[in-house]
Amino acid sequence: MNERAGGEAFPGRFPATRLRRNRRHAWLRSLVAETRLSVENLIWPLFVHDLAEPEAVPAMPGVSRLSIEGIVDAAAEARSLGIPAIALFPVIDPSLKTLDGSHAVDPDNLVCRCVRALRQAHGNEIGIICDVALDPYTSHGHDGLLADGQILNDATVEVLTRQARALAAAGCQVVAPSDMMDGRVGAIRAALDAHGHDDVAILSYAAKFASAFYGPFRSAVGSAANLGAADKKTYQMSPANSDEGLREVALDIAEGADMVMVKPAMTALDVIHRVKTSFGMPTFAYQVSGEYAMIHAAAAAGMLDLKAAMLESLLSIRRAGADAVLTYFAPTVAERLASGS
């Protein structure tokens, strides 16, 4: 007897709509998929240090700090996997960190040397995205200049414009201010344009939250010890707010941002969605270090399946509205997608 239920009034017509029909076969699920995760959506964040040997980051399984040569090789790997761009984060020797973070504007600092090596090896075949913020360079670990316990806005912006110019001169195609100072996108745009870098794009960390999920990153770049018990709540956004995130994004677009970013991703899927639908801008999301560490830790404890959780988390970020996702999973995902497994 067939399983079909139904009263006398609607013989064979209950329920009239069966959404499970489209879920019945893998090929059909694939045909009706509304969102896809492709290698073209991925940006791979990398940590560069000034040592010859790679150094594992304990809180981020599978992630190491690499030498400049190691980064050049990683970029080759990214290219062969089809990952369009990498994002660079320098681990600065503590002896070079100062109150004013002045090493950030040195054209021969680690990240500038790394960018030059990358451009020499790879030309324009891979995107190089460089963070604009002072936290790798300051002895207090803040993204801006600190005076009397306050982060100075306009004085910081002035330094950031010089940092952005140094990075652009070294050859990065995208600068990504992650500092959350007011007015920095406009100031950086003007400074780049005034110095012949009108082709360098700005990816603005527009809605960036003061988040506990940056913990592993701060230990990876070595700013955790500098920051100590301090927090970044006077410049990064409160997780309570999303209207404010839209105002941040609107300002950055008005100031000349080419792409906008929401960060973290998994705790701000609603913000990603609002930003994408409100502005129709290229919208990126950062699956941050804590999100990566959390998935790895749960998988290592046998609590969830690493591959499935990784793919689901990234697909969900795409579904929320992100065009591209910065993720430490990038090479692993790219390999999985290529092998179809």
When asked if residue 184 is in the footprint of ligand PBG (CB under 6 A), the reply is no
β strands within the chain, DSSP E? 42-48, 55-56, 64-66, 85-90, 127-132, 145-147, 150-152, 174-177, 201-208, 259-263, 283-287, 324-327
Q: Which stretch binds ligand PBG (CB under 6 A): 71-79, 128-136, 244-252, 265-273?
A: 128-136
For 240, residues 6+ apart whose C-beta sits below 8 A from its C-beta are: none
Of residues 288, 223, 289, 266, the one with CA closest to residue 58: 289
When asked if residue 143 is in the footprint of ligand PBG (CB under 6 A), the reply is yes
Rg (CA), the chain: 22
Residue of the chain from 97, 189, 197, 218 that contacts ligand PBG (CB under 6 A): 218
Of residues 87, 86, 88, 83, the one with CA closest to residue 41: 83
Residue of the chain from 288, 314, 322, 333 that contacts ligand PBG (CB under 6 A): 288
Compute CA distances 45 → 65, 100, 273, 307, 335, whole Å. Answer: 11, 25, 23, 19, 16
Total of residues contacting ligand PBG (CB under 6 A)? 12
Smallest distance, ligand PBG to C-beta of residue 191, A: 19
Residue of the chain from 126, 131, 237, 252 that contacts ligand PBG (CB under 6 A): 131
d(CA 218, CA 195): 32
Q: Which stretch binds ligand PBG (CB under 6 A): 11-19, 34-42, 127-135, 275-283?
A: 127-135
**Active site annotation includes 276:** no
Residue of the chain from 111, 133, 201, 249 that contacts ligand PBG (CB under 6 A): 133
Binding track over 224-263 against ligand PBG, x by CB under 6 A: --------x-------------------------------
% helix / strand / coil in the chain, to the nearest 5?
A: 45, 20, 35
Residue of the chain from 41, 161, 178, 313 that contacts ligand PBG (CB under 6 A): 178
Residues annotated as part of the active site? 208, 263
Residues that bind ligand PBG (CB under 6 A): 131, 133, 135, 143, 178-179, 214, 217-218, 232, 288-289
